[in-house]
Amino acid sequence: MSETVRKPELLIPASSLEVLKTAVVFGADAVYIGGEAFGLRAKAKNFSMEDMKEGIAFAHAHGVKVYVTANILAHNRDLEGVRAYFEELKEIKPDALIIADPGVFMLAKEICPEIERHISTQANNTNYLTYQFWYQQGAKRVVSARELSMEELRELRAHIPEDLEIETFVHGAMCISYSGRCLLSNYFTGRDANQGACTHPCRWKYAVMEESRPGEYLPVYENERGTYIFNSKDLCMIEHIPELLESGIDSFKIEGRMKTALYVATVARTYRKAIDDCLKSRELYEEHMPWYKEQIAACTYREFTTGFFYGKPDESSQIYDNNTYQKGYTYLGIVGDVDAENYIHLEQRNKFSVGEMIEIMKPDGENLAVRVEAILNEEGEAMESAPHPQQKLRVKLSGKADACDILRRKEA
């Protein structure tokens, strides 16, 4: 790669303290999280102030930054709560706040000026004058609108100050609405996507009805079950890392603040290796491409697209016949301690059984196939299987697992 290429930050989402720690261990340079209010993922588990404090301490101990979302479009009734929230955040010192609303931005600048302010994609940041505006207000970083092409991103970089950072989504679910500014959820259910309560109506099945023939449903697209006309494929840029590096982007952002630890570990590990390989040499990156594609296909996803990076998406970027995910692996849990008898301690997430073959997924890229040799419950009693989520178990495996490894099972 050229010497002028910036080394980008890999920015990973986290829905909980457990997932934050996974992101850190599996290769994130920074993690973004939401508190219990004022973010746009009200249905995510989100972080209590205590968990946020612990997560920030863990990340900082590993040299990883933490950004907190506060990107609702605030109403008058929200402002005093935002003020109090920022007073609390001032004490626990995240590295940045992600903000969309100018009023919320002003409060952050007043209350905790020492915390960086990043401008959310929700603010519709589509041109370099907008970037210059936010820079003059004191923003450190602006998240680009997802509707920008690679060419537009390069042009942005050429027209903004060197120390103003560009953050861009490179992987994950795509909102059907412009920069995520969607009114469908509010219209259908009264739950406002711009207040963090989206019900994802873009994933629902639709038909049309002609006024003079009430009750007679006509599919919008030729499919006997109707159509998922708003259902977008997921963004994936793993095959285009060199162009991303050369575009001047400072932070490669992964979408998914409602995803599991398995998803986060898989995406973080894969993009981490792809970025590092490409920075070493284009040849090494291309040599390892089959591995990246195999790993990323192991995620839960909806088929992939390159979004707007190479022009306006066409009908091939939509999925009309279903709203289901592709699923390569089932998440079984994260390894906690490993005791003197070589049993791993695990809070189990999905059922597995003695004698079953599963995989240990390690942060360094290794996937180790192992047999489950024994399962003990909290009382030390032997079990043939672990059927109930969040059981605390001791498990003996045929291979070596370390703390923070992920256990998964390949699906047929």
Q: How far is CA 19 from CA 157, 320, 334, in A?
A: 32, 32, 10
How confident is the model over 101-110, as pLDDT tens digits?
999 999 999 9
The pLDDT of 271-292, averaged and rounded, is: 97
| Type of residue at 268 | A
Residue 174 has pLDDT above 50, yes or no: yes
The pLDDT of 102-121, averaged and rounded, is: 97
Share of the chain above pLDDT 70, in %: 80
Residue 325 has pLDDT above 60, yes or no: no
208 confidence band (pLDDT: 50, 70, 90):
low
Q: What is the pTM of this model?
A: 0.85
Of 41, 181, 200, 76, nearest in space to 122 by CA: 181
Report the distance separating Cα 26 and Cα 20, nearest Å: 10
214 confidence band (pLDDT: 50, 70, 90):
confident
Say what the pLDDT of residue 320 is: 41
The gap from C-alpha 354 to its chain's centroid, in whole angstroms, comes to 33
The pLDDT of 321-326, averaged and rounded, is: 52
The pLDDT of 314-321, averaged and rounded, is: 48
How confident is the model over 223-254, as pLDDT tens digits?
444 455 555 778 999 999 999 999 999 999 99
Say what the pLDDT of residue 194 is: 55
Q: How many CB atoms lie within 10 A of CB 1?
A: 15
How confident is the model over 338-392, as pLDDT tens digits?
998 999 999 999 999 999 999 999 999 999 999 999 999 999 999 999 888 889 9
Report the distance separating Cα 278 and Cα 334, nearest Å: 29
Which tokens is 346 given? 């695990």
Q: How far is CA 276 from CA 6, 269, 337, 348, in A?
A: 12, 11, 29, 32
Say what the pLDDT of residue 96 is: 98
Is residue 89 within 8 A of residue 115, CB to CB? The reply is yes
How confident is the model over 30-88, as pLDDT tens digits?
999 998 777 655 555 578 999 999 999 999 999 999 999 998 889 999 999 999 999 99
Say what the pLDDT of residue 223 is: 47
Say what the pLDDT of residue 173 is: 78
Residue 147 has pLDDT above 60, yes or no: yes
Residue 191 has pLDDT above 80, yes or no: no
